[in-house]
Amino acid sequence: MSAFSQTYPIYSQYMMNGMVLNPGYTGSRGTFALSSSYRKQWVGIEGAPEIETFSAHAPLKGDRVALGLMAFNESIGVKNTTGIFANYAYHIHAGAGRLSFGLKGGIHISNADYSRVETVEEDPVFTSGSSSYVLPNFGAGFYYYTDKVFLGVSVPQLLNYREKSSRNGYEIYHNIKQYNFLITSGVLIQFSKGFMLKPSFLIKYSQISPLQVDLNGNFIIKNFLWLGGSWRIDDNTLVGIVELQVNDQFKIGYSYDYNTGDLNTFNNGTHEIVVRYEFGYRVNANNPRYF
């Protein structure tokens, strides 16, 4: 039999902070932006994925160069991984919009406590204690956006890790077949000044994993209420999303994932909360940014 693990964190509200998927998104908000999220996946299943994420990014003077910082802490079973990455993006004018090229670099800090694994019989692999590593990683991507459309392609992790054959630590290796290519795109459809629709999609492609596709749609009402949902095709998951643009700078969102497949019997859904705060007044109610 074959099995596939979760190779890159899932975010139902990735549109609230595109930097979690693509370093090219860095600085595209046009102001200093802070975002934070918490995601509890598959409530009711012991050891299910849980992740907290924080990011900050801003364009520098002249708007050509942007810098950012992203950190996350993810727990899956007996393994805990923390990532800290610095982002760099360069923006150029391209037609009616802007094209951004982004790079990121940082470290993954991982620890697995095998002594917490319960086995039927004593197994030296699991009673040996724990294993850990602190290793670098890099990512790259580009992001094109206008007031009405956006397109992004990224590879958020260029390197992989594996345990050495001697079981004495971990080593870095590179294999293009294990790249996760993330493709995002969407448009803004305006029916009236106070009523718009923003359909979008996210595709995750890897040569060694099943294709993952998220189809999304959000209605924007009076630039205050963002109401919509997603359909995650590969694992039969329906997502409901509610976001509130409280004022010019502050936005908060909540999503609930409901699995319609066999997994539904074993969990009570997935909860995700995202908050974003943008300093300054360049992004405001009179000239809002929808991507």
- 237-255 pLDDT per residue, tens: 999 999 999 998 999 999 9
What would the mean pLDDT of 158-169 be, rounded to a whole number? Answer: 81
The fraction of the chain above a pLDDT of 70, given in percent, is: 91
* Cα–Cα dist 57/91, whole Å: 14
Cα separation, 92 vs 173, in Å, equals 33
Return the H-helix or E-strand segment holding 238: strand 237-245
24 vs 226: CA distance, rounded Å? 24
Terminal alpha carbon distance of the chain = 41
Can you list the domains of the chain with their CATH numbers?
14-278 (2.40.160.40)
Is the pLDDT confidence value at 32 over 90?
A: yes
Of residues 202, 89, 205, 186, the one with CA closest to residue 142 = 89
Q: pLDDT band at residue 191, thresholds of 50, 70 and 90?
A: very high
Alpha-carbon distances, residue 225 vs 190, 194, 220, 246, 265 (angstroms): 15, 10, 6, 9, 32
Residue 167 has pLDDT above 70, yes or no: no
- Predicted TM-score (pTM) of the model is 0.89
Q: Return mean pLDDT, the chain.
A: 89
